[in-house]
Structure 1
Amino acid sequence: MNSRVGKAILSLVIIMLPWKISAQAENPVLSDNPSGYLLLDKGLQYRITKSINSMYNFDFPTAERDFAVIMYQYPEHPLPDFLMALGYWWRIEVDVTNTRFDNIFIQYLDRANEKAQRMFDRDPKNKEAAFFLAAGYGFQGRLYSERKSWTKAAWAGRNALKYMELSRGETEFNPELLLGDALFNYFSVWIPENYPLLRPVMALFPKGNKQLGLQQLETVATNAFYTRVEAQYFLFRLYASEEKRPYEALQISEYLHSKFPNNPYFHRSYARHLYTVGRWTESVKQSTEILERIDQRQYGYESNSGRYAAFYVAEYYNRIGQKSEAKKYYLKTVAYGEESESQESGYYLHALIQLGKMETEAKNKVQAKKYFDQVKKYAKRKHPAHKEARDFIKRNKL
């Protein structure tokens, strides 16, 4: 199976899930909990809010101490194990190519699923149990699709879809469940638009509405208790890429970075969006801070974030004509790209092209040829960087 097509299929399954227990609540609704579901216990929600805020801010020891207390109080409930798994997912999210957290992430999800399954077996009408099973299998499928373990991902995705349907119908869970509907509405249209070969597959699903999906996502980002941050995460990614609304993407990433200043994913996204809208000096400031945090070995700041940050700084210096500084940071981009094994990434390839041009200007054609050969080695032939490297070599007789 083609990896992009396979990932698109699995992404459809995963994005349909109501991603649970994943955001801070700033204005919790104080109401009774007639269902008896732990997720709707308002006192516990306050405690979860503090813990999850710590988790999003990459203060995992604080978050996990709180999760451990919940685990002690509710040893048979899937919530604490799911929260622990979620913390490891965010460690993975910073650099999805790194597999060192895969096993413990899956172990916590397996434990959460086992407990939820026991709840479900005792009462097949238990919406909370179905709620956790849908989310648990969904996250498993998402990781397996990243690892190209398509059989495992498909199995997890089928289970996730089954329990997602069973979790519907409990109005107290809204707007949390609306996130799943929003993502389905958006991506069930987006996937056939971008992957024509999948149109027959998508015909088997209900017809989506991309604009409605975006509106629903905005509603969740504003009103949800648990899924607020996840909705904001999806929104800034869609605004930045698919919807071509860079200033709105910047607004969300700026908020998330200010709320969770030690989250490296939000930090580099903020730097990226500043760069995209032309606020280069501010992007350089944020990028330099990212690089300093990497040098200081601050938790979560690693080579993948360094590749982004170094590139933005390099581009800035190149624009203002400070070639020696630009070269320094392009070399950092390349070094971080190799450390994170991201040689096929656009930033890595563009940095090599710029270095090749600089060496050509310096009459160092041998070194320039090496840089362009690296581009040809790592870029696919249809990639714009591959064509640019070929054309430059030909024009300059390297």
Structure 2
Amino acid sequence: MKRIVFFLFLLITPFAKAQLLYDAPTQNLVLEAIDHIYNYEFGAVEPLARQIRAKYPNHPVNPLLKAIQLHWQYLPVKDNKAMSGQYQSYLQECLNKAKVLEKDVKTRPEAAFFSMAGHGYIALIHNYNDDKIKAASEGKKAYNYVMDGFKYMERNPEFYFSSGLYNYYVIRYPEDHPIVKPLILFFKDGNREEGLRQMDIAARKGIFTRTESAFYLARIFLKHELRYEKASNYLSTLTQKYPNNPIFLMKNIEALLLLGQYDEAQPFLERFKRRTDKFFPIASHTFEGIVEEKHLKHDGAASKAYQAALRQPFDSEYTKEYHAFAYAGLARIALRAGDRAKATLYYKKAEELAEYKALIKEIRAYLK
């Protein structure tokens, strides 16, 4: 399940228990390595990883760190056959080594974390491939590990992230994807507001989970909760800390545009437009279209920008919604031109893609 299993990004919390709990120097090495990955400084990771391996050669932290790097370095890793194979091999190695830790009661909590991370990333691959049944099934394998995390929250704020994600998405995900409802029928009940509160605690008090907590809270506030200012606050902090991360930069621009802060967004957009690789131009063109349409009131330029975005294939995780934004923008432009037939066509195309609550509301208001 796309979001419930995003507890996978607990990727770092395991270091807070068992062997690494009392090893502050190694914790710092792991944290530094993760920060380099977030900031796209991949060449700086291996020297740190080598030191971690020297001290903990059989620990699941090593393959998981490799998998995390591949996830970001070859984003989206699913589209790179060679790297995707390595990625899944590292995840399986992580699970195998976590099983060894699970045999000892003293290292069982640590094993639970690495098992959650491994199963979560595998579920993410299934979800990227639009196989929601397999993704949900993988999530079920991790269910007991997630439940264990609830027991450790009060002792360690890192666990607030996994518990918060679960509480929120075990409610939200089946609302958006009814096909998975039978699979989670016997899952522990969730609570959306409690989930948001728990993730906020992790974003403020967590050491290793702070970044992912902030990022996924921001995405929730953009997509589901329509609390754009809160999303912008989180994303502004992330963009400052990790200036080389194009995903954080992209979402920060999005939040500013949804807030109507066009002038504030412009310098970030100019910087982002230099990223002409992967799926980033789709976002750049869509953002330009929004600025031209809503800020500068240039429908002609906006239409060209939206059409440019639509000429490129989207990534299901990161840029699908920007195609929906572009179609909706073209629909609004058609309406202002008095062409209701074209507006209807564009809104129907947007409806096929849209997942953001505000955009769905706009589309349905017109098509009703």
TM range (shorter): 0.7 to 0.9
Q: 1:288 to 1:328 in 2, by over 3 A?
A: farther
Report the CA distance between 1:353 and its aligned residue: 4.5
Report the CA distance between 1:111 and its aligned residue: 1.5
Contact 1:85 1:109 in 2 (8 A): yes
Q: 1:21 aligns with which of 9, 12, 18?
A: 12
Q: 2:229 — aligned with what?
A: 247
Structure with more of its chain in helix, by fraction: 2
Measure the CA separation in 1 of the matches of 2:131 and 2:330.
32
Measure the CA separation in 1 of the matches of 2:13 and 2:18.
21
Contact 1:17 1:160 in 2 (8 A): no
Deviations 1:201-242 (A, max 9, x none): 655233322222211111110001111111101111122232
Measure the CA separation in 1 of the matches of 2:184 and 2:107.
29
Paired-residue identity, %: 23
Structure (1 or 2) with the larger CA radius of gyration: 1
Q: 1:306 and 2:267 equivalent?
A: no
**How many residues end up aligned between the 2 structures?**
355
Q: 1:289 to 1:47 in 2, by over 3 A?
A: same
Contact 1:253 1:266 in 2 (8 A): yes
1:122-133 equivalences under 5 Å are 126-133=108-115
Q: 1:315 — aligned with what?
A: 290
Task: Specify the code of the residue in structure 1 equivalent to 2:283.
Answer: Y
1:218-297 equivalences under 5 Å are 218-294=200-276
Task: Specify the code of the residue in structure 1 equivalent to 2:308.
Answer: K
SS in 2 for 1:205: coil
Deviations 1:276-299 (A, max 9, x none): 1111122233222211232xxxxx
Contact 1:134 1:162 in 2 (8 A): no
Measure the CA separation in 1 of the matches of 2:114 and 2:98.
6
Report the CA distance between 1:305 and its aligned residue: 2.4
Q: 1:379 to 1:277 in 2, by over 3 A?
A: closer
Contact 2:11 2:114 in 1 (8 A): yes
Task: Specify the code of the residue in structure 2 equivalent to 1:21.
Answer: I
Task: Specify the code of the residue in structure 2 equivalent to 1:346.
Answer: A
Contact 2:63 2:91 in 1 (8 A): yes
Task: Specify the code of the residue in structure 2 equivalent to 1:225.
Answer: I
Report the CA distance between 1:139 and its aligned residue: 1.6
Q: 1:141 aligns with which of 123, 132, 135?
A: 123
Deviates more, 1:308-317 or 1:152-161: 152-161
Q: Which runs of 5+ in 1 are unaligned?
A: 1-9, 26-32, 295-301, 393-398
Contact 2:292 2:298 in 1 (8 A): yes
Deviations 1:329-382 (A, max 9, x none): 3343233x3376978830342465578789x79xxx9xxx9x989959955679
Give the TM-score normalised by structure 1.
Answer: 0.74
Contact 1:343 1:349 in 2 (8 A): no
1:1-398 equivalences under 5 Å are 10-11=1-2, 13-15=4-6, 19-21=10-12, 36-91=18-73, 95=76, 98-100=79-81, 101-121=83-103, 126-150=108-132, 152-165=134-147, 169=151, 174-191=156-173, 194=176, 204-294=186-276, 302-319=277-294, 320-322=296-298, 325-335=301-311, 337-338=312-313, 345-350=323-328, 353=331, 375=346
Give the TM-score normalised by structure 2.
Answer: 0.79
Contact 2:58 2:97 in 1 (8 A): yes
Task: Specify the code of the residue in structure 2 equivalent to 1:145.
Answer: N
Task: Specify the code of the residue in structure 2 equivalent to 1:178.
Answer: Y
Measure the CA separation in 1 of the matches of 2:174 and 2:102.
35
Measure the CA separation in 2 of the matches of 1:54 and 1:205.
36
Contact 1:51 1:63 in 2 (8 A): yes
Measure the CA separation in 1 of the matches of 2:344 and 2:178.
33
Contact 2:4 2:170 in 1 (8 A): no
Q: 1:323 to 1:96 in 2, by over 3 A?
A: farther
Q: 1:380 to 1:339 in 2, by over 3 A?
A: closer
Q: 1:356 to 1:67 in 2, by over 3 A?
A: farther
Measure the CA separation in 1 of the matches of 2:299 and 2:7.
47
